[in-house]
């Protein structure tokens, strides 16, 4: 096993990968998001979660929450666009994309791009993750 240098490790986010996007009818380069960029995307999505209040009463907890589905949907969409925008604008693609141009894509194209960005960034949920999630 070889010893990695900092430059080797940081090269990962600067190495775009060719990804086939069926809904676009071809391949495009996407790059993995850094941990800081992933945090930005997660924070955008978290803006739509609403307000939750939990109070402990001895061994039990009482929790209430208010969710605005419209606000959740809008925040989730902003997070997807931000992730794609950060990933698609890389040195391997000839054209720079604006967020406004991304807004023109069909929903299935956005979802496929986003899923691929999350996968190459190591942020995808696997079937193993779902099966190991504790049940009530």
Q: With pLDDT > 70 as the criterion, what percentage of the chain qualifies?
A: 84
Tokens of 6: 């900092």
Give me 81's structure tokens.
């666009």
pLDDT at 127 over 70: no
Provide the pLDDT for residue 7: 63
Higher-confidence residue of 127 and 59: namely: 59
Residue 122: left if φ>0, alpha if ψ -120 to 50, beta else—which one?
left
Higher pLDDT, 103 or 59: 103
- Name the phi and psi angles at 16, rounded to 5: -60, 150
- Average pLDDT, rounded, for the chain: 86
For 59, 68, 136, the CA distances from 55, given in Å and listed in that order, are: 11, 22, 19
Which one has a higher pLDDT value, 44 or 11? 44
Higher local confidence (pLDDT), 133 or 32: 32
**For residue 134, is pLDDT > 70?**
no
Residue 92 pLDDT: 94
| Sign of the dihedral defined by the CA atoms of residues 109, 110, 116, 120, in that order | positive
DSSP 92: T
């Amino acid at each position: 096993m070889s010893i990695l240098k900092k430059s080797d490790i940081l090269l990962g986010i600067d190495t775009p990968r060719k990804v086939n996007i069926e809904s676009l009818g071809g391949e495009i380069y996407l790059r993995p998001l850094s941990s800081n960029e992933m945090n930005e995307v997660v924070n955008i999505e978290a803006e739509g979660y609403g307000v939750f209040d939990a109070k402990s009463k001895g061994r039990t907890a009482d929790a209430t929450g208010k969710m605005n589905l419209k606000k959740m949907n809008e925040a989730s969409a902003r997070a997807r666009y931000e992730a794609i925008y950060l990933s698609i604008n890389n040195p391997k693609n000839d054209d720079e994309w604006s967020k406004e141009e991304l807004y023109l894509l069909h929903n299935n194209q956005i979802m496929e791009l986003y899923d691929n960005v999350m996968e190459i960034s190591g942020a995808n949920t696997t079937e193993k993750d779902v099966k190991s999630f504790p049940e009530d």
